Amino acid sequence: MTNLLEIRDLHKRYGTVEVLKGVDCSMRQGEVISIIGSSGSGKTTMLRCINMLEEFQGGTISIDGQEIGYETVGGVRRRKPEREIARQRALTGMAFQQFNLFPHMTAAGNVMLGLVKVKKMSRDEARGLAEKWLDRVGLLSRKDHYPGQLSGGQQQRVAIARAIAMNPKLMLFDEVTSALDPELVNEVLQVIKGLAEDGMSMLIVTHEMRFAYEVSSRVIFMNQGRIGEEGDPREMFLKPKTERLAEFLKTSTFN
């Protein structure tokens, strides 16, 4: 059986600065993988390559066996047509550090947009699904509120509902609690935990070590553009094999 996600020898440069120096990673259906590491280690960049928000110059990323973003025709690697890339992006859902809700649309409107424009659902059908997912993140009563009328934690939960409603095969979480006040972090983490329990496949870039420890089936430690260490969260947090990870864990708070 093919892996859900297969990353091989991923290389990414910004100009002359190489930020990903050959990353390999495979992930099975239903896995929850947390990606940890200090800032600048390449963890967010790796996540953003998976849905082509970043271009990458070398290596391949495949989801369910289909190569993402690039194809090689006659030995020449080239970007796939934009329409194809847009379709592939919908294989994944993403939640962002800054939520990025559309401020001129209500919570329900935010969730409905992709359903109507990408999935071509009728507005009624889309509204039904939007309400179902807003209910799931505990915000059905806020469906007609605009992002500006919601707290940070509520906005992030709407953003997660917006991504999940598109029925992605893989959810990407990019430091989703980093912009939140401490007392709002938990409500967002609870939503993610619930999705993990439902068997959603997730890649989670996070600084919440306790959360990574509790929710993940596997942890990846990124270090200077490479995978420094990976494995079972219990083993990694309690008995780090590399000096680097031990150092990193010492400087992070585990609460």
Burial 24-35 (b: 16+ CB within 10 A, else e): ebebeeebbbbb
Choose the stretch contacting other proteins; rule: CB under 8 A; options: 71-79, 81-89, 205-213, 226-234.
81-89
Phi–psi pair at 111, nearest 5 degrees:
-70, -35
Q: What DSSP line would sit under 174-233, residue for residue?
A: ESTTTTS-HHHHHHHHHHHHHHHHTT--EEEE-S-HHHHHHH-SEEEEEETTEEEEEE-H
Query: Residue 122 Cβ, how far from other proteins at the closest point, in Å?
Result: 17
Kindly state whether residue 104 participates in binding other proteins, applying the rule CB under 8 A. yes
170 in Cβ contact with 94 (< 8 Å):
no
Among 37, 42, 69, 93, binds other proteins (CB under 8 A): 93
Q: CB nearer to other proteins: give 146 or 213.
A: 146
Among 15, 82, 120, 183, binds other proteins (CB under 8 A): 82
Query: Residue 103 Cβ, how far from other proteins at the closest point, in Å?
Result: 5
- Rounded to an integer, what distance in angstroms lies between the CA atom of residue 229 and that of residue 231? 7
Q: CB nearer to other proteins: give 134 or 227.
A: 134
Contact positions vs other proteins (CB under 8 A): 51-53, 82-83, 86-87, 89-90, 92-94, 96, 98, 100-104, 113-114, 117-118, 146, 148-149, 159, 162-163, 166
